[in-house]
Structure 1
Amino acid sequence: MLDDFLTRAAIAGVGVSLATGPLGVFVVWRRMAYFGDATAHAAILGVAMALATDLPIALGAAVVAAAMGLTVATLTGRGWAADTVLGVLAHSALALGLVGISFVGTVRISLESFLFGDILAVSRTDLAMIWGGAVVVLAAVVWRWNRLLLSTVNEDLAYASGISPLRERLALTLALALVVALSLKIVGALLISALLIIPAAAARALSRGPEAMAVGATLIGAVSALAGLWASYHFDTPAGPSIVTAAAGIFIIAAVAGRLRRT
């Protein structure tokens, strides 16, 4: 079964949704959309460094994405404006990554695959990494769910309960870095944020509680991946953008359904 490239792509898309679904709800609740963009853009710099040092691309992307997240958290904690820091670092990292890749002359690569993803080229090794990483992220979110939720809803109450919001923010940053590294092969650096945000936003319109929203975001992400792959196969469209387009369509339907339900 795994010899079929489309089957491997579908399994990869569902695997990524296991991580992006529950993590995406915290991105939406904490209004971290731009933070997700910055982390994803930094992954391109990680790709360049990995190619230059013969390291696994996923490892390079995860390390640099995590470094970006920690840098942003440190600078904003010292009084820097978050939007300014994110804007400067995100675009600088993306530009440096693209320039760095151009200097790696011994490796023939397609920049488009890193920017927009190449899910149809997923291998068995990629599947193992995607599902292994997704299970780690999912387990971490489930383990720290109450702490993350309380820190998100009310930091003062979290402090009073003996929970460090800073530690939870750090855990969320590292989890985001891992998800970015996993998703780079699927939708690319420019569309990773969409995969985190759109399914969670769609689930928010239909859910009555945080747990239901996390489950809903995971299911919507998986359906978006399968629907996008179906559209890509039948209409010969790019797979990564097709997945995001499917998610956007589901969001519109969910938003309308949610509005009708409240009226």
Structure 2
Amino acid sequence: MLDDFMTRATLAGVGVALAAAPLGCFVVWRRMAYFGDATAHAAILGVALSLTLQMSIFAGALAVALIMALTVTVLSGRGYAMDTLLGVLAHSALAFGLVAVSFLSGVRIDLMAYLFGDILAVSRTDLLIIWGGAALVVALITWRWSELLTATLNEELAYASGFDPKREQLILTLSLAVTVAVAIKVVGVLLIAAMLIIPAAAARSLARSPEAMAVVAAVIGGASAVIGLRSAYVFDTPAGPSIVCVAAIVFACVNLLGWQTRDKI
């Protein structure tokens, strides 16, 4: 069954959606959208390092994404506004990554595949990495769900409950780094943040509890992957952007229906 490239692509898209769904909810609640972009942009530098050192693309992207996550966590609140700090780190890492790629000699690299994803070229090994990373992220978020939710709602309440909100933020940022590393093959570094934010934002209007929002976001993300891949196959469009377009259409429809309902009420 896995010999079919469309089957592998579909499984890869659903795997990324499952990892991004609960994480995307926290990104939306904490207003960390720019942080997702910064971590994703840094992954290009990881790709360049991987090609230079002849190591796994996943390993290089994960290493740089983890360094970015740790750096932001350490430097936050030390004299710079968070959006300023993220802007400096994100665009610097992206620029250094693109320059580093240009120095690679004797290596053929399709930069567009890393910027916008190449889900149709997912291999069995890639599937193992994607689903392994997704399982790790889901397990970690599930394990720390109450603590993460409390720290998101109120840091003082988190301290009163006996745990450090900074530690929970670190867990969240590390999970984000893993998600970025596994998603780079599917939607590329420029669209990873979209898969984090758009399904979660659409689910926000449909769910009545945080847990329900995570589940609905996973359903929207998975459906977007399946429908987007099918649309790309039928209309001969790029697969990664097509997936994001479907998620954006769902978000627009949910909000349009919401406005009409509120008008009637």
Structural RMSD (CA): 0.9
- Alpha-carbon distance in structure 1 between the residues aligned to 2:161 and 2:106: 54
User: 1:66 & 1:23 partners in 2: Cα distance?
Assistant: 16
Cα shift at 1:73: 1.8
Secondary structure at the aligned position of 2:226 is classed as helix
Match of 1:170 in 2: 170
Alignment-derived partner of residue 83 in structure 1 = 83
SS at 2:158 equivalent: helix
Q: Secondary structure at the match of 2:7?
A: helix
Alignment check: 8 A CA contact 1:118 1:188 kept = yes
Cα drift, residue 261 of structure 1? 4.2
Give unpaired runs (5+ residues) of structure 1.
Answer: none
Report matched runs for 1:5-16 at 5 Å. Answer: 5-16=5-16
Normalising by structure 2, report the TM-score. Answer: 0.97
**SS across alignment from 1:170:** helix
Q: Is the Cα contact below 8 Å between 1:206 and 1:258 reproduced in 2?
A: no
- SS at structure 2 position matched to 1:237: coil
Shift of 1:109: 1.1
CA drift of 1:122 comes to 0.3
Distance in 2 (alpha carbons) for counterparts of 1:261 and 1:106? 59
In 1, the alpha carbon distance for the partners of 2:39 and 2:233 equals 30
Give the whole-Å Cα distance in 1 for the aligned partners of 2:44 and 2:224. 24
Mapped to 1, the partners of 2:23 and 2:35 lie a distance apart of: 13
5 Å matches for 1:5-44?
5-44=5-44
Whole-angstrom CA distance in 1 between matches of 2:208 and 2:148: 18
1:226 maps to which residue? 226
The one-letter code matched in structure 1 to 2:120 is L
The 8 Å contact of residues 206 and 257 in structure 1, kept in 2 or not, is answered as no
Runs of 4+ that moved beyond 4 A: none
Alignment partners' CA distance in 2, 1:236 and 1:109: 22
Distance 1:64 1:242 in 2: 27
Structure 2 Cα separation of the partners of residues 223 and 257 of structure 1? 19
* Equivalent residue, structure 2, for 1:217: 217
Measure, in 1, the Cα distance between the counterparts of 2:172 and 2:260: 34
Cα distance in 1 for partners of 2:215, 2:43 equals 27
Q: Is the 8 A contact 1:200 1:217 kept in 2?
A: yes
CA-CA distance at 1:106 after TM superposition: 2.4
